[in-house]
Structure 1
């Protein structure tokens, strides 16, 4: 069981990702019900030898299979629209992070603090410790406080990149000359991994993202230590 769970995505860490998972389950349930009903009807037609050669039309069934799909689409569309507006909602942020994509690494700037900025390169497999994550770990992890509304401003210095962390439910293109904005809220501590999701060149697969969610006090201690080092 542990092996199979390691092959999938990480568990959600933000309310937005939880809502995305709920919507996925909702849509899958509708699809399973439709597939089961259509499969049963097709099977009954294949194996039923009874025919009615005088049947020319049936207004009732025409009305049913026109109106029923419309209600099903509304049943899927309303939660989808609600979720789209939730994803675009930007609450008052407590921390602002700026992520800049380069070929092929990320630069981070903490706009609320002086001299807190660094580059995050992927750790080569030869230098990776036994507890490291191959092709996912970076030399400077992005430390952020949990239970805090965080705004991330995303841009790029050369080509189009994409800042993506599945556990947070966030994905935004990093476009040169343009700032994109996303907002998220982490409700537990841990390490959460992402990668550039735009084909940005030869080393596209080797510019990972690592978010380290910590308590607010631990985050402030890290900011002080990072500022002293600078």
Structure 2
């Protein structure tokens, strides 16, 4: 009898495992402890920015090595021992032309690649989905334009006063219950921006009190939320998953504790989530709707 119960329990466990897996999203856009690189690029904009950063690093490294080499050469070639009788002159036209034209050409070359990246960010396309985001002290408000849906997003564990940045057992339980890891403390929010994968999302950004800044590093987007003004950014997420961001404009006492969570899901899941949220009159946990 005990053997039968054990086998039944194991069968139930393995049967339930795929269903549990369906209710999770891979965490992709997250800071890495002691990390020095970019988060994985999840949009075309982020890939462009990361490529541009790599190109500029090569140019800057070449300039530093060139200038360092010149300095070393001058130290060795023109020190007092090697050159006891220095020349005296006030101008060297070829050198002056070279150090004027050279930097101009470098800047023009950089501009030829950086300006198209900037214009791509600033030229807002027609969106498949438009969300208005409002920064408050210290949380975010979201309104899905054209849909009867609006909600606020607070950090799990808010209000948080900082201290030694240790979380309580109660906050850890809230994180686990919401489907996050305890390592996501200070990053995860009680609600999330839910968007469909592969669709163009336009965010209309403003502030209700002071200047905030809505930022998702993995998407390559950042936009100040200025009271009285409505700015826009856009992105097209290419992979389903969970992405974290932070307010990136100093906005007061709890500036460090107003994170951003974006969940990218399939179009079918998004449609089901949107309908369920509107029927409930507010945010519904998208995990309950995730399918293969």
Question: Fold match, TM over 0.5?
Answer: yes
**SS at 2:54's partner residue?**
helix
Q: Determine whether 1:144 maps to 2:195.
A: yes
Q: Which has the larger radius of gyration?
A: 2
1:88 to 122, 136, 140: 122
**SS at 2:134's partner residue?**
strand
For residues 125 and 34 of structure 2, the distance between their equivalents in structure 1, rounded to whole angstroms, comes to 33
Conserved 8 A contact 1:161-1:197: yes
Query: Across the two proteins, how many residue pairs are aligned to each other?
Result: 226
Higher-strand-fraction structure: 1
Runs of 4 or more, structure 1, over 3 Å off, are 4-9, 49-59
1:66 to 96, 100, 123: 100
Q: Determine whether 1:215 maps to 2:244.
A: no
**SS at 2:143's partner residue?**
strand
Q: Determine whether 1:122 maps to 2:173.
A: no
| C-alpha RMSD of the superposition | 1.9
1:131 to 181, 194, 198: 181
Segments of structure 1 that go 5 or more residues without pairing to the other structure are none
Segments of structure 2 that go 5 or more residues without pairing to the other structure are 1-30, 158-166, 282-292
1:191 to 223, 232, 242: 242
CA drift of 1:215 comes to: 1.0
TM-score by length of 2: 0.72
For residues 5 and 101 of structure 1, the distance between their equivalents in structure 2, rounded to whole angstroms, comes to 26
CA drift of 1:5 comes to: 4.7
Aligned residue runs from structure 1 range 133-172, under 5 A: 133-172=184-223
Conserved 8 A contact 1:170-1:182: yes
CA drift of 1:48 comes to: 2.3
For residues 33 and 253 of structure 2, the distance between their equivalents in structure 1, rounded to whole angstroms, comes to 27
TM-score by length of 1: 0.91
